[in-house]
Amino acid sequence: MSPPADPSPHPTRRNIVWLTLQYMMRVVFMFWLRFQARGLENLPKTGGGLVLINHQSFLDPPLVGVALQRPVSYLARDSLFRVPVIGWVLRNTYVMPINRDAPGTASIRTALQRMNDGFLVGLFPEGTRSLDGKVGEFKPGFISLIRRAKVPVYPVGIAGAHEAMPRGGVRFWPQKVRVVYGKPLCPEEVSRLSAKGHEDELVAFVRSAVEACQAEAQAWRDGKST
């Protein structure tokens, strides 16, 4: 019997492309961005989950993944898969394409399958990079994933990536970057707010958790916390 055309990667084992890029990025981020992260103990070693992150820069996906010992399967706009080199990297690092203008059920099904298979799926609810580094409004597209996946939801905050590579910029500036992985959101509250009619409350609840992580990362970056 021939193998499936598109076998799902392993949810906790990093492939050779991921490991190679992770090693290279750790070196670059450590010296160029003075990168540090904390709260790693809040993410499980196994099991599926939805990781919701504020979006400051193109650097955000590797910044969140570089400190972890397991891969994160991100959703990224499908147009990036057509870019030479970048598309190859995305296809070989667990990334799933999504059409931001018309997100279809296929992308949602793929993300749900990944989480059910034990993956951490990463998503940026703002939908686009921040213009000023602050956490913007969240688009409600992630609600269907929360409702249907029934997995823990983990907020993550990034500070400093906007200064390192702001939206519209092409240069990679030396800056101090901090990432904070928050504790999983209260499952009872998530379940309550996932009911029909509470969409706005759920979006506000999740956004406040991500915003708290980002504020902690910013205070840490500014030397206002240890």
Q: Of 70-74, 79-83, 135-139, 159-163, which gets the smallest average pLDDT?
A: 79-83
Compute the average pLDDT of residues 63-78: 92
- Among candidate residues 60, 57, 80, 72, the one with its CA nearest the CA of residue 111: 72
Q: What's the confidence (pLDDT) of residue 180?
A: 98
pLDDT tens track for 109-145: 889 999 999 999 999 999 889 888 999 999 988 898 9
Chain centroid, CA 95 distance in Å = 11
Residue found by looking up tokens 């076998």 in the block:
7
pLDDT tens track for 42-53: 999 999 999 999
| Fold annotation for 16-221 | Glycerol-3-phosphate (1)-acyltransferase (3.40.1130)
Domain positions in the chain are 16-221
Compute the average pLDDT of residues 48-66: 95
- Among candidate residues 39, 20, 33, 141, the one with its CA nearest the CA of residue 92: 20
Q: What's the confidence (pLDDT) of residue 79?
A: 86
Q: What's the confidence (pLDDT) of residue 167?
A: 85
